[in-house]
Amino acid sequence: MSTEKNKEILRGGQFLVKETPCEAVFTPEDFTEEQKMMRDSVKEFVDREIWPKKEEFEKKNYQLTEDIMKKLGELGFLGVAVPEEYDGLGMGFVSTMLVCDYISGATGSIATAFGAHTGIGTMPITLYGTEEQKKKYVPKLATGEWFGAYCLTEPGAGSDANSGKTKAVLTEDEKHYLISGQKMWISNAGFANLFIVFARIEDDKNITGFIVENDPENGISFGEEEKKLGIHSSSTRQVFFNETKVPVENMLSERGNGFKIAMNALNVGRIKLAAACLDAQRRVTEGAVKYANERVQFDTPIANFGAIKYKLAEMATSTYVGESASYRAAKNIEDRIAIRQADGNSHAEAELKGVEEYAIECSILKVACSEDIQNCSDEGIQVFGGMGFSADTPMESAWRDARISRIYEGTNEINRMLAVGMLVKKAMKGHVDLLGPAMAVADELTGIPSFDKPDYSELFAEEKEMIAKLKKVFLMVAGSAVQKFGPQLEEHQQLLLAAADILIEIYMAESAILRTEKNVKRYGEEKQTEQIAMSKLYLYNAVDIIGQKAKEGIFSFTEGDEQRMMLMGLKRFTKYQNMPNVVALRNEIADKLIEENKYCF
């Protein structure tokens, strides 16, 4: 057996029921030399070509976006995820995340154009295309000779993506489909050469995917550019198809497989979207730190005020945590792909299954990172005071650009419900054993708690125990809810949303602690002082959120003794023996940022 096969890695969702040793998580500090070089060259490009034109990107300069995309193509950045045989760079999943992360930080317009082209505009062909389709289209997309767009959404079909009315009718000679319908909110529509279009054949239950070349002579027309809150230079238009003739050989995968393609493309899109929020957060945090050091009020730089330190510390912490969780999941996906390939799967099959395995984590990350960049840029505005509200400073556009990430690639409500729904399904299929641990928690609730004084002398001993207890909170609430409602659980959306928040906080907090623990082991505790503080601060906040959400859930479906017992359990599972001094933690983190005058973690 190959070493890849021997390697034991967690299955998607298993983080909840298995303890992960810190050595098993990949962290940004584990980047290879090649990955670091890639990161530096992307950063250098963004700092030279995109960041200085930030103001221009607010002026709806769609041509500028197209020009930058062309340059990205020439430099090979559009083909990082594309196998070499189709003129891409064939890089591993972590490297593709890294490129997406650092390309996306300066403006949401490029983040969106890049994401729509390389992700949902190209991936459906690399993952589901026939050899002929791949040979014909992928090299053009990988090099930026052509640009791609993804046409799923319609006026009447947004979150309910499989309900689209666009039709595909087979011609009498059976050589073509005629596609007719209206697609809405299509990113890159203004300069795309190729569309991935989803349409329904006859009265099929599920939609079908097609590759459609842009040709104005072939019944394709466009709406005006949408007037949007943010991402001002990202082209977003309606696309109309009027009996657009598409050769039968341009069907993607099989008839009726479109919904599956659409959803799987979105799994990749979601984790990449999480990555796309990270460098924006680094830049916003850094901008806030620099401003706080420069701006003087009451004869002192505002950075000296506790109120500002609070914000800087929280901004940096959520950035650090987002990085920790995103790269942890990315490496799990990369390893799972390698295992599948070692098992004889083709690259496409391995990638599809590898990402699908971690669809829960992809949804968790999409929600967490999109909300973190929103909060971070909001606080960034606050640090800038009145100047933050001005379009002359970068905070205002960062805040507007961040807003879309909570809406596209599946809204955050849909992703929250998906995360819990998929976990429950995995449990039903026996892929993740939730039932056993949930029953153990139920037994623990009726048992007598231990009054032994635990030994917390080792770093993170209490925090790791807290994570284990928070997992019990999820198992207690979700386990009882599944028992009570069975398949009807999906009708209890507010309960699902609360459970999702518990799940998200656990994954994010655990990822940060494991990253820091791993780095303490190799660099020493004194070199990780602020990282330790950030991990502890995040966990403290997570415990608070989890306590509140769990209470909400428990009150919604229990009463009497059952409710009392669960509330007692919740108290026990969210109790610190030694409460952290979060004010001191925040000061420690902020002081380091202020001293370094940048995001330095």
Ligand X SMILES: Cc1cc2nc3c(=O)[nH]c(=O)nc-3n(C[C@H](O)[C@H](O)[C@H](O)COP(=O)(O)OP(=O)(O)OC[C@H]3O[C@@H](n4cnc5c(N)ncnc54)[C@H](O)[C@@H]3O)c2cc1C
| Residue whose CB is less far from ligand X, 402 or 585 | 402
Query: Which range in 145-153, 361-369, 392-400, 515-523 contacts ligand X by CB under 6 A?
Result: 145-153
Binding test (CB under 6 A) with ligand X, winner from 100, 123, 404, 467 = 404
CA separation for the pair 221, 214 (Å, rounded): 9
- Single out the residue of 187, 221, 182 nearest to residue 118, CA to CA: 187
| Residue whose CB is less far from ligand X, 193 or 411 | 411
Binding test (CB under 6 A) with ligand X, winner from 69, 152, 369, 373 = 152
CA separation for the pair 513, 467 (Å, rounded): 9
Is residue 409 part of the annotated active site? The answer reads: yes
Exposed/middle/buried for 262, CB within 10 Å: 0-12, 13-18, 19+? Answer: buried
Query: Which range in 21-29, 146-154, 351-359, 455-463 contacts ligand X by CB under 6 A?
Result: 146-154
- Single out the residue of 142, 172, 27, 22 nearest to residue 78, CA to CA: 142
Q: What is the DSSP string of 212-257?
A: EE--GGGTEEE-PPP--SS-TTS-EEEEEEEEEEEEGGGEESSTT-
Whole-number minimum distance, CB 404 to ligand X, in Å?
5
| Residue whose CB is less far from ligand X, 157 or 338 | 157
Whole-number minimum distance, CB 59 to ligand X, in Å?
17
| Residue whose CB is less far from ligand X, 288 or 402 | 402
Whole-number minimum distance, CB 151 to ligand X, in Å?
6
Residue nearest ligand X, CB atom distance:
158
Residue found by looking up tokens 């994010």 in the block: 508
Told to check if 418 binds ligand X by CB under 6 A, we report: no
Told to check if 158 binds ligand X by CB under 6 A, we report: yes
Are the C-beta atoms of 39 and 102 separated by less than 8 Å?
yes
Are the C-beta atoms of 517 and 532 separated by less than 8 Å?
no
Query: Which range in 127-135, 273-281, 411-419, 422-430 contacts ligand X by CB under 6 A?
Result: 411-419
Q: What is the rounded end-to-end Cα distance, in angstroms, of the chain?
A: 39
What is the b/e burial string over 91-127, where b = at least 16 CB atoms within 10 angstroms of the residue's CB? bbbbbbbbbbbbbbbbbbbbbbbbbbbbbbbbbbbbb
Q: Considering 361, 409, 463, 530, which one is annotated as catalytic? A: 409
Binding test (CB under 6 A) with ligand X, winner from 69, 186, 329, 534 = 186
Whole-number minimum distance, CB 13 to ligand X, in Å?
21
| Residue whose CB is less far from ligand X, 504 or 537 | 504
Told to check if 119 binds ligand X by CB under 6 A, we report: no
Whole-number minimum distance, CB 532 to ligand X, in Å?
37
- The helix (H) or strand (E) run that includes residue 205 is none
Told to check if 411 binds ligand X by CB under 6 A, we report: yes
Q: Token pair for residue 320? A: 């650090």
Which residues fall within 8 angstroms of residue 43, CB to CB, at 6 or more apart? 102
- The helix (H) or strand (E) run that includes residue 190 is none
Whole-number minimum distance, CB 208 to ligand X, in Å?
15
| Residue whose CB is less far from ligand X, 180 or 587 | 180
Whole-number minimum distance, CB 262 to ligand X, in Å?
8
Query: Which range in 122-130, 131-139, 151-159, 212-220 contacts ligand X by CB under 6 A?
Result: 151-159
The C-alpha angle 33, 317, 305, rounded to 5 degrees, equals 125
Told to check if 195 binds ligand X by CB under 6 A, we report: no
- Single out the residue of 330, 398, 338, 524 nearest to residue 54, CA to CA: 398
Torsion sign, CA atoms 105, 106, 111, 117: negative
Helices (H) and strands (E) in the chain, counts: 20, 10
| Residue whose CB is less far from ligand X, 11 or 228 | 228
Residue found by looking up tokens 């009882």 in the block: 480
Query: Which range in 181-189, 387-395, 470-478, 588-596 contacts ligand X by CB under 6 A?
Result: 181-189
Tell me the β-bridge partners of 195: 149, 212
Whole-number minimum distance, CB 468 to ligand X, in Å?
32
Whole-number minimum distance, CB 272 to ligand X, in Å?
13
| Residue whose CB is less far from ligand X, 423 or 442 | 423
Q: How many residues does the chain have?
A: 601
Binding track, positions 352-381, relative to ligand X; x by CB under 6 A:
------------------------------
Binding test (CB under 6 A) with ligand X, winner from 95, 96, 153, 233 = 153
Which 3 state secondary structure label does DSSP give 170? strand
Could you say which DSSP state residue 157 is in? B
CA separation for the pair 142, 536 (Å, rounded): 42
Are the C-beta atoms of 591 and 309 separated by less than 8 Å?
yes
Size of the site for ligand X (CB under 6 A): 21
Told to check if 201 binds ligand X by CB under 6 A, we report: no
Binding test (CB under 6 A) with ligand X, winner from 42, 72, 116, 289 = 116
Query: Which range in 286-294, 307-315, 400-408, 521-529 contacts ligand X by CB under 6 A?
Result: 400-408
- Single out the residue of 330, 337, 318 nearest to residue 97, CA to CA: 330
Whole-number minimum distance, CB 91 to ligand X, in Å?
24
CA separation for the pair 363, 11 (Å, rounded): 15
Whole-number minimum distance, CB 117 to ligand X, in Å?
10
| Residue whose CB is less far from ligand X, 157 or 546 | 157
Query: Which range in 166-174, 183-191, 375-383, 587-595 contacts ligand X by CB under 6 A?
Result: 183-191
Binding test (CB under 6 A) with ligand X, winner from 4, 30, 349, 413 = 413
Binding track, positions 221-250, relative to ligand X; x by CB under 6 A:
-------x-------x--------------
Half-sphere exposure of residue 36: CA atoms within 13 angstroms, side-chain side: 7
The overall longest dimension of the chain from CA atoms, in Å, is 81
Are the C-beta atoms of 513 and 535 separated by less than 8 Å?
yes
Told to check if 159 binds ligand X by CB under 6 A, we report: yes
Binding site for ligand X (CB under 6 A): 116, 149-153, 158-159, 185-187, 228, 236, 404, 407-408, 410-411, 413-414, 493
Residues marked active site are found at 409
